[in-house]
Amino acid sequence: MAAADQLDAKLYVIPGSHPAMAARRMLELKGIPYRRVDLMPVISRGVLRGLRFPSNTVPSLSISGRKLTGSREIARELDALRPEPPLYPSDPERRVAVEDAERWGEEVLQPAVRRILWNALKRNRAPLASYAQGARLGLPIGLAVKTAAPIVAAASRMNRAGDDTVRHDLASLPGWLKRIDDWIEEGVLGSDPPSAADLQIGASLRLAMTLDDLRPAIAERPAGELAVRAIPEFPGQAPPVLPPSWLEPVREVQAATAAS
Ligand SMILES: N[C@@H](CCC(=O)N[C@@H](CS)C(=O)NCC(=O)O)C(=O)O
């Protein structure tokens, strides 16, 4: 096992990327120093391809001469390189439950939150700058935002963030939040320090909570509290922009939480 300070880690991220934020927290929790490379969305794909990562998405991590892409791959490799604190439980049954939750977080919740965000940014690009807080993109943030229209359009298209899909995602959100609350109650989620599943799901919830349209429905419930514990800081804030009729299912669950 290599000492953490000999690992020579470089993490490639996009500002506002939730799986990239999960990977950042993994490295922090493991105490592994790393250099962060901030990339612009869409342009990131060519950069990562040129650097010969296994795929062209963030997070991508080079560590100890290895190149990895994907938040779940990175979690496993970091646990192998630096076992403490563990990202997965040692008990085999609990590990399966955590891995199932992590996979659901990556395959279902993560892309849905990404679609919702791009749909919102397509309606109003001004909040983009808030997501890039602290990022070094190689050009002034104001200029990056001013010239971002084609990038936002391309990212919305590539992520299939069309209106019908996003409306459907918003209708599914209440059930997903309930599922996460249930997992917390069952002890699958919510470990201290956070597991890979807490980070995977917490990062998506944290990104959803940057949207004023969604934060009130998430923040006050166990899922929202878990997200803030797992990912204490997540830059970005977008004022209300989604059509109110799309948000009706979310408002209903918000009212029910407030009344309970
Ligand atoms: N499911 C992958 C996420 C991959 C992904 O789609 N990442 C986005 C950022 S959140 C990306 O790289 N997008 C490229 C782009 O926007 O051009 C993981 O968990 O690592």
Which residue numbers in the chain have pLDDT < 70? 1-5
For 135-165, what is each residue's pLDDT tens digit? Answer: 998 888 888 888 889 999 999 999 999 999 9
Give the distance (Å) from ligand 1 centre to CA of residue 239. Answer: 24
**CA dihedral of 24, 201, 243, 160, whole degrees rounded to 10:** 80
> Measuring from atom 10 of ligand 1, which residue has the nearest CA?
17
Q: State residue 227 phi and psi, 5-degree precision.
A: -60, -45
Cα gap 118→129, rounded to integer Å: 14
**How many CB atoms within 10 Å of residue 28?**
11
pTM above threshold 0.85? yes
Give the distance (Å) from ligand 1 centre to CA of residue 229. Answer: 23
Q: Cα angle at 137 between 131 and 138, to 5 degrees? A: 155
Q: Cα angle at 12 between 7 and 14, to 5 degrees? A: 150
Place of tokens 């936002």: 152
> Measuring from atom 9 of ligand 1, which residue has the nearest CA?
17
| Contact residues of ligand 1, CB 6 A cut-off | 14, 17-19, 41-42, 44-45, 57-59, 70-71, 106, 110, 114, 155
Asked whether 210 and 18 are in contact (CB, 8 A), the reply is no
Q: What are 12's strand-pairing partners?
A: 37, 60
Q: What is the DSSP letter of 68?
A: E
- For residue 260, the model assigns a pLDDT of 81
Domains of the chain: 4-81 (3.40.30.10), 92-259 (1.20.1050)
